[in-house]
Amino acid sequence: MSGLPKYPGERITANGNQLVAYHTEARVTDGGVYYPITPSTEGGELYQQSFAEGKLNVFGRSTRAIEAEGEHAAQGGAIAYSVCGRRVTNFTSGQGLPYASEQYYHAPGKASTMIVQVGARALTKHALNVHCGHDDINGVLDTGWIIVFGKDAQQAADQSLILRRVAEKSLTPGMNVQDGFLTTHLERTFYRHESAFIREFLGAPDDIIECPTEAQRVLFGPTRRRVPKMYDLANPVLLGPVQNQEHYMQGVVARRNNFIEPILQYLVESHEEFGRLTGRHYGLLSEYKTEDAETVLIALGSAAENCEAAGDYLRETRGAR
């Protein structure tokens, strides 16, 4: 029994929206700001349900659930809440991402640490389609956010915590993506994170931590709040000024060199720590029977499960590798 992980999780039956919104985000955040859009509508509804039930997060604090008048307003409100030192989430899909795209571009430069939960959906072209596609995510790839995909609801919920830990260490916001309907609405048995695990792995937003880089030490000193108050009347800073090319260029390069570059290492470290505590191991790339493979399929999202099943079938019936 000593070989069991410290926090294996609590077995529950849920779909992707339920596992991520109600059983994860509502338990770790201070607030959610969102606007309903299929297939992420259920995520916002479940977050609102947790708030209406009077549930506290695992740190014993009440949350706030705010439904805005549209995706653009929701994303702007979520960013604003996050730079006030709050741990924040948003739920969106499809047209919600390009509609709010200008909000995504400025969030990294303001050191927002928020996480957007995305139910990936095809964008309207010749016809409306509310089902899975990666058009929405592809449209915001260059906004400066960390983006991770889950192959199933378990990985989406697990990576929600991993991504948040990395976002708060790097001061860069993130998007946690699961496939619309194929994952958001597929109901199976998964593992809900123990409250003690969340407190140990993630920590509270107002914890005082050591600054991990020289650039952060220049900004904050040797220590800072885990989720910094970038808007703080007691310690005002200049955010979002107007700059001409010579200064704007330096800011873009400085952010890339000092904030973006360390992210991959933070992801590796966080995945390793998560695996050690839970027994569920991911990594920058999740692999399945690749050690002796002659043909390797690469996929994003729920297609990975189909690839795994196809690989098993071909190995068993045709001796393929």
Average confidence (pLDDT) over 41-48: 98
Distances (CA, A) of 267 to 185, 263, 284: 27, 6, 7
Q: What confidence tier does 1 reach under pLDDT thresholds 50, 70, 90?
A: very low
**Alpha-carbon gap, residue 90 to 294, rounded angstroms:** 41
pLDDT over 90 percentage in the chain: 97
The CATH fold assigned to 1-284 is Rossmann fold (3.40.50)
Buried/exposed 159-182: b ≥16 CB within 10 Å, e otherwise: bbbbbbbbbbbbbbbbbbbbbbbb
Tokens of 317: 């019936």
Cβ proximity of 73 and 16 under 8 Å: no
Taking the domains of the chain in order of start, what are their residue ranges? Answer: 1-284, 287-321
DSSP bridge partners of 32: 65, 89
- The per-residue pLDDT for range 86-134, each reduced to its tens digit, is 999 999 999 999 999 999 999 999 999 999 999 999 999 999 999 999 9
Q: Is the pLDDT of residue 292 over 60?
A: yes
